[in-house]
Structure 1
Amino acid sequence: MEATLVVLLLLVVALLGAQLSVPARRDGTAARLTEIERRLQLVMDHLGVVDDGPALPGVREHLARGEKIKAIKAYRAATGADLKTAKEAVEAMAGQR
C-alpha cells in the first residue's frame, strides 16, 4: 500500500515538473521565431524585396478618404484581427502614405 502511494506521489511530481517546463519551451519558441523574422527581414532588405502586406479590400480606400474608423472595421473584417491590432495596423498604414 505504501509503495503504491510513493509511486503515485512520484508520478504526480513528475507530471507537475513537466507542466512547469512547458512555458519555458513556449518562451524559447517565441524567441526563435523573433530571430527568424529578424533574419528574414535582413535578407529581404538586402535583396530589395518590398512586402506590401496582404491585400486589404477597402482599407486603403477608407484611409484615402480620411475614414479611419471604417478602415479599422474593414481591416478587422479582412483579417479577423482584434480591435487593438487592427487600430495599430491601420495607423501604421496611414503613416506610410
Structure 2
Amino acid sequence: MDTAVLFLTCVVILGIAALRTRRSRAERRAARAERELDLVPGHLGLRDEVPRLDEIVTLVRRGEKIQAIKVYREATGADLVEAEEAVDRLVRR
C-alpha cells in the first residue's frame, strides 16, 4: 500500500512539473512574438498616438509615475502592466 501511494505521488509531481514546463515555454514564445509584433509599427514608420501624452510626460518628469500610469490607463484603456511598461519607456527617453 505504501509503495502504491509513493508511486502515485511521484506520478502526480512529475505531471505537475511537465505542465509547468510546457506553460512556461508557451509564455516565453508568446512574449517573444509580442516583442516582435511591437517592432512592426516602427519598421513601417507608424507612430502610435497616445491621447493626453503631454500630461503623462509632465507627470513622469515631476516624478509622479503612479499618477502617470493612471492617466495612461484612462486615456488608452490599457491594463496595468501595459500602462506601466509604456510609462517606463517614457522615463527612459
TM-score for both structures, normalised by structure 2: 0.56
How many angstroms does 1:80 deviate by? Answer: 4.0
Of residues 21, 46, 51, the one that matches 1:24 is 21
How many angstroms does 1:94 deviate by? Answer: 4.5
Q: Give the match for residue 63 of structure 1.
A: 57
Equivalent pairs counted in the alignment come to 84
How many angstroms does 1:15 deviate by? Answer: 0.3
- The percentage of counterpart residues that share the same residue type is 21
Question: Taking CA–CA contacts closer than 8 Å with sequence separation of 6 or more, which of the two structures ends up with the larger relative contact order?
Answer: 2
Q: Give the match for residue 32 of structure 2.
A: 35
How many angstroms does 1:92 deviate by? Answer: 2.7
In 2, the alpha carbon distance for the partners of 1:35 and 1:43 equals 13
After TM superposition, the structure 1 stretch with the greater mean CA deviation from structure 2, 7-16 or 72-81, is 72-81
Equivalent position amino acid for 1:73 in 2: I
In the alignment, structure 2 segments of 5+ residues that lack a partner are 74-78
How many angstroms does 1:42 deviate by? Answer: 4.2
Bigger radius of gyration among the two: 1
Of residues 67, 75, 78, the one that matches 1:74 is 67
In the alignment, structure 1 segments of 5+ residues that lack a partner are none
CA contact (8 A) 2:68 2:87 kept: yes
- Detail structure 1 runs of 4+ shifted over 4 Å in the superposition: none
Pairwise CA RMSD: 3.3
TM-score for both structures, normalised by structure 1: 0.54
Gap change, CA 1:29 and 1:12, over 3 Å in 2: same
